[in-house]
Amino acid sequence: MSPERFARITSMLEHRQPELTVLLERVHKPHNLAAIVRTADAVGVSDVHATWEDKAMRLAGNKSATGSQNWVNVHSHETTAEAIQALRDQGMQIIATNLSDNAIDFREVDYTKPTAILLGQEKTGISDEALELADQDVIIPMVGMCQSLNVSVASALILYEAQRQREQAGMYKGECRLAAQESHRILFEGGHPIFTKLCKEKKLPYPPLDDEGQIDASDDWWEAIRSTKK
């Protein structure tokens, strides 16, 4: 891993926001999914959650993570209730994009709190079940004839408002807030793709890295890597 690569990945890890995420409910267009995952990465979101319309979209979800260079984890859930409960277990408030009588401007939400942004399917929107489980409906003010934005555009607006608030609160400064095992995985896979592939083929654990991101493995690990046996 070059010093420049190490510095870039380390900087990215220090800006990750583990208590900010997106929950996609049956988003079924691959280009929207890919755009949302890309925006999530851009603002420091490391994990996206989703329920799927069908198996094909579940596979597309995995490919979207790959398309974003494996920087974002896409977590699949069987049901909306299961997904929301998993996020509540992490102490997150659930913010739903929905035009309703009690909806507020999306900029009025405090995104410095642990937050999951719930986005619905392109045609039918968020399900009634999900809306009942959400904490707050939000709207993006519009003065034209259209009443809604493309789901990927809506997610970008809300995520960048969350980034603005968190940046003002100093939440993009300081040490990496990801779990040590997760940050090590990302750093190793991002900096040593060839050895990552070998580790997976040979079912070997990722070795330690030194302060410059170079592999600091035992002789036994190196011998196992060089072995022709899988």
Give the pLDDT band of residue 61 (cuts 50, 70, 90). Answer: low
Q: Which CATH superfamily is domain 17-168 in?
A: SPOUT methyltransferase, trefoil knot domain (3.40.1280.10)
The ranges assigned to domains in the chain are: 1-15+176-230, 17-168
- Helix-helix angle 30-42:55-67, to 10 degrees: 40
Per-residue pLDDT reduced to its tens digit, 99-150? 888 999 999 999 999 999 999 877 777 888 999 999 999 999 988 877 778 8
Please tell me the distance from the alpha carbon of residue 188 to that of residue 21, in angstroms, as a whole number.
Answer: 23
Position 213 scores a pLDDT of 95
Position 98 scores a pLDDT of 86
Kindly report the number of other CB atoms within 10 A of residue 130's CB atom: 23
Q: How far is CA 172 from the centre of its chain?
A: 16
Residues 77, 86: contact at Cβ < 8 Å? yes
Q: How far is CA 219 from each of CA 155, 188, 196, rounded to the nearest angstrom?
A: 48, 18, 17
Per-residue pLDDT reduced to its tens digit, 197-219? 999 999 999 999 999 999 999 99
Q: How many residues does the structure list for the chain?
A: 230
Backbone angles phi, psi at 39, to 5 degrees: -65, -40
Give the predicted TM-score (pTM) of the model.
0.87
Report the mean per-residue pLDDT for the chain: 89
Contacts for 77-81 with beta carbons within 8 Å, 24 or more apart?
77/49, 77/50, 77/51, 78/51, 79/51, 80/25, 80/51, 80/127, 80/129, 80/130, 80/133, 81/129, 81/133
Please tell me the distance from the alpha carbon of residue 58 to that of residue 208, in angstroms, as a whole number.
Answer: 33
Find residue 229's DSSP bridge partners.
none
80 labelled ligand-binding: no
pLDDT of residue 188 exceeding 80, the answer is yes
149 labelled ligand-binding: yes
215 labelled ligand-binding: no
Token pair recorded at residue 187: 């750093």
